[in-house]
Amino acid sequence: MFEIYTPGHNYLTDTLIMWGIVYIALDACDPTKSRVIGLGGRYRIVLEDFDESKFNAKLRDVISDLVNVDQLAGLIKTGKRRGLGKSVISDRLQVGLDNDTKNGVAAAIHEVLDSGLDLKVFAIDHIEKMKEGRLGKGLNLYIPFSGIYGKYLTSEHRYLDKPYNVCSGCILFSAIGFHAVMGIARKGGERIYSILGFDGEATLYDLSRLLRPIWYIKSEEILTRALRNNASLTRLGQVLVMYLEMPRDVREALPWVAWYMIMYSYDVGRTKRISGFQIFDLVPMRNIIERIEEEYDKLPRLIELLIDRGSIDKGGDEVINLLAEIALNRDLYGAFKTLRVLRSVIERIDEKKYGKLKKSLYGTLGASLASGLVKAVS
């Protein structure tokens, strides 16, 4: 048995690191016996029949998926560290990260390739041993991997230029986790990130279902389309879209642990501004959706139709927000209001311009939707 602890930086960073380690470890242990225990934003990873040589071999392979190793070596020789991000080749990292963070990822990978990585440092006292933190040493933990840490340390009467620093291993596993499981919706220079974390215990085998990129690709495509159609979705509404558009077989096979979704926005352009960092408990939403789908199996299709521009112009985004609120308040009045607003939206859609859309939306209506909503809140 081999134990690994995520460091305890914050919910997002530790969740990224957990997924990064799991992504690599699946081929280096018995995934049916190995498990992850989440508790309050930290994770304990217990690997049974662990083979460190296989772990390191897979790590080298994945590093080659993240960066062009030869190009990185050439850039290192120039001595210009700010251009190291040019070696990043992962589509997920290219699309989702700003240039500073890409430079940081490349620098961390260089350190790991140059000096090696000792997994034993990921112990319960990792931060203290590695001297990490706002007053620590190491590499800057940029906002896309932390969600909360800016450049400055606030102290009495002054702001000090003290970035939050971590070791190269933390950056590397965060980058792998980002590459493997981060959902990324886009509108202009803004990125809306979403990732699943949990409290409780699950095997690596069960978690491996979420390492299939198909689950988040459709979700992020739908949310990106909604944002580009100027949908006024609440953050909770965005969470509903990301979760509901996960393939149903994946949702139903998820381990019964206390899942939560971390969601936040970041401008990767010049402003480097983060907004709306929130952690949402998915347990109520999962329960509500499962009860609705016992009666009504068109919920994902309904969402896809409601984020069409023709629907949004008449309030389709409001229906999505109302559905998301039902997951929190389980209110019968809210269920009837959702049905009323939905019918109003459909009736007001311009039939000449959006006739096919209107017909499709009418096709999603029926007694099963009403009974599903009522059952869900009862």
Q: Measuring CA to CA, which residue among 188, 334, 339 is closest to residue 265? A: 188
Q: Which of 17-21, 80-84, 186-190, 327-331 has the highest mean pLDDT?
A: 17-21
**Angle formed at CA 251 by CA 245 and CA 256, multiple of 5 degrees:** 145
Read off φ and ψ for residue 219, nearest 5 degrees.
-60, -45
Mean pLDDT value of segment 249-261: 90
- Bridging pattern class, strands 42-47 and 35-39: antiparallel
The chain-wide mean pLDDT, for the chain, equals 91
Considering only residues 239 and 158, tell me which one the structure prediction assigns the higher pLDDT.
239
pLDDT value, residue 87: 96
pLDDT value, residue 366: 87
pLDDT value, residue 226: 95
Percent helix / strand / coil, the chain, rounded to 5: 55, 20, 25
- In sequence order, the 6+-apart residues with CB closer than 8 A to the CB of 252 are 290
pLDDT value, residue 153: 38
Amino acid found at 282: L
pLDDT value, residue 82: 81
Span 143-158, pLDDT tens digits? 899 986 544 434 444 4
SS3 328: helix
When pLDDT is cut at 50, 70 and 90, the band that residue 275 belongs to is: confident
DSSP 208: G
pLDDT value, residue 271: 67
- In sequence order, the 6+-apart residues with CB closer than 8 A to the CB of 307 are 222, 225, 226, 229, 231, 241, 316, 317, 320
Q: Which of 15-19, 95-99, 252-256, 284-288 has the highest mean pLDDT?
A: 15-19
Each domain of the chain, given as residue ranges in start order, spans 2-206, 213-260+282-377
> What is the CA 43 to chain-centroid distance, rounded?
16
pLDDT(196) > 60: yes
pLDDT value, residue 151: 45
pLDDT(356) > 80: yes
Mean pLDDT value of segment 237-242: 95
pLDDT(53) > 90: yes
pTM (predicted TM-score): 0.93
- CA-to-CA distance for 10 and 149, rounded, in angstroms? 10
Answer yes or no: are the C-beta atoms of 184 and 10 closer than 8 Å.
Answer: no
Span 13-43, pLDDT tens digits? 999 999 999 999 999 999 999 999 999 999 9
Burial class (CB in 10 A: 0-12, 13-18, 19+), 69: middle
Mean pLDDT value of segment 283-289: 93
pLDDT value, residue 224: 95
Percent of the chain residues topping a pLDDT of 90: 78
- CA-to-CA distance for 38 and 370, rounded, in angstroms? 37
- CA-to-CA distance for 123 and 115, rounded, in angstroms? 19
pLDDT value, residue 213: 65
pLDDT(92) > 70: yes
**Angle formed at CA 321 by CA 316 and CA 324, multiple of 5 degrees:** 130
Mean pLDDT value of segment 283-287: 93
> What is the CA 144 to chain-centroid distance, rounded?
11
**DSSP, residue by residue, 111-171:** HHHHH---GGG-STTHHHHHT-BTTS-SEE--HHHHSS--SEEEETTEEEE---EE-HHHH
